[in-house]
Amino acid sequence: MCVFNSNNAFIIENILAHSESDEYSWSQLIDGTSGELAQPIKENITKFSDTRIASLFNEIVQMRNRIIHSFQVTHNNIQILATKKKNGEQFIITEKYLLEFIQKNQELSSCLHKFRGY
């Protein structure tokens, strides 16, 4: 979750750095949900690059939501986490899922560093 939080703040930093107006403030952006950053990302990051950062961030937000909104279940006599998508599909949060979440966050961080220019 720490790497996600870092990327969320990095997204906000990049939005503010590329904003052509005073439409957004740090406190306004940090107070919203990560999903609410979609429009500011489109207006201030995608406008100057491509859709990779926006789509990757959206995918990571969805994965993070599944982790945060998970629930405990017993599977093979052990307690594990499971989650449910909005379409009703349920699945177990595996180590592979968590490692993919971490890897995607690393990829996003690299994209944001490249976008920032250093």
With cut-offs at 50, 70 and 90, classify the pLDDT of residue 70.
Answer: very high
Domain boundaries, the chain: 1-67+95-116
Q: How many CB atoms lie within 10 A of CB 15?
A: 21
What pLDDT score does 20 carry? 82
What pLDDT score does 106 carry? 97
What pLDDT score does 22 carry? 83
Q: What is the mean pLDDT of the chain?
A: 94
What pLDDT score does 55 carry? 97
